[in-house]
């Protein structure tokens, strides 16, 4: 799953009213994480740049809010939104003016932006709307309990899980009423990074 798609689901509450689609059946199984080589570098990620046989040109820096990093000799280089291999190729091309046949490697040492993108969010009629880090095996019920449970104004039978992928945002019906009161776990889906769970308020 592309990490940019995960971020879109954090905004699903705003977009689902106009662009979301109701999906039948349970959410699809969570795909295996993409290889690190395909990871798109994000703001605050820490990258290490090394140049073979030129240790003085190496540097370990965070990606700035503008998506750039500063590299000795070549200055600012774009890193945000690119893969490590793409950044390494760009730096190598720029360094070729100063160094003969530069061999550049870019390594991610701390994926700080990934932690934000992989959070699970619970909104609506819960005691404490929250954004929590995704953990493998986490379910809808785990996330709702982490939010302190439901308020007295909740309509748990109309809860929904929103998930975004390359085709857009889809919503899946979650019957928290059955889960909490009857132990019916058929809609206690496993969540995925970037999911949004909403619990609506009942009509007065």
* Residues 179/187, Cβ–Cβ less than 8 Å: yes
Q: Indicate the pLDDT class of residue 24, thresholds 50, 70 and 90.
A: low
- Mean pLDDT of the 177-185 span: 94
Q: By C-alpha distance, which of 78, 76, 89, 1 is closest to 38? A: 1
Please tell me which residue, 137 or 117, carries the higher pLDDT value.
137
Q: Please report, for the chain, the start and end positions of each structural domain, with discontinuous segments joined by +.
A: 3-23+31-35+116-199, 40-110
- Confirm or reject CATH 3.10.560.10 for domain 3-23+31-35+116-199, answering yes or no: yes
pLDDT at 20: 55
**pLDDT of 84 above 90:** yes
* Residues 98/73, Cβ–Cβ less than 8 Å: yes
Q: By C-alpha distance, which of 97, 113, 27 is closest to 63? A: 113
Superfamily of domain 40-110: wza like domain (3.30.1950.10)
pLDDT at 36: 43
């Amino acid at each position: 799953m592309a990490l940019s798609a995960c971020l879109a689901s954090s905004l699903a509450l705003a977009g689902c009213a106009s662009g979301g689609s109701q999906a039948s059946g349970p959410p699809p199984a969570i795909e295996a994480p993409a290889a690190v080589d395909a990871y798109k570098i994000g703001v605050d990620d820490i990258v290490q740049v090394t140049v073979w046989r030129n240790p003085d040109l190496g540097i370990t820096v965070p990606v700035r809010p503008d998506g750039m990093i500063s590299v000795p000799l070549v200055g600012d280089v774009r890193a945000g939104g690119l893969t490590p291999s793409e950044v390494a190729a760009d730096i190598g091309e720029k360094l070729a003016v100063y160094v003969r046949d530069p061999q550049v490697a870019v390594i991610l040492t701390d994926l700080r932006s990934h932690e934000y993108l992989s959070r699970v969010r619970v909104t609506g009629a819960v005691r404490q709307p929250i954004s929590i880090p995704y953990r493998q095996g986490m379910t809808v019920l785990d996330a709702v309990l982490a939010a302190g449970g439901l308020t007295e104004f909740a309509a748990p039978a109309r809860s929904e899980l929103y998930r975004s992928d390359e085709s857009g945002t889809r919503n899946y019906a979650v019957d928290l009423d059955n889960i909490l009161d009857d132990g019916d776990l058929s809609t206690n889906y496993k969540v995925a990074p970037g999911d949004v769970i909403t619990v609506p308020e009942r009509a007065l």
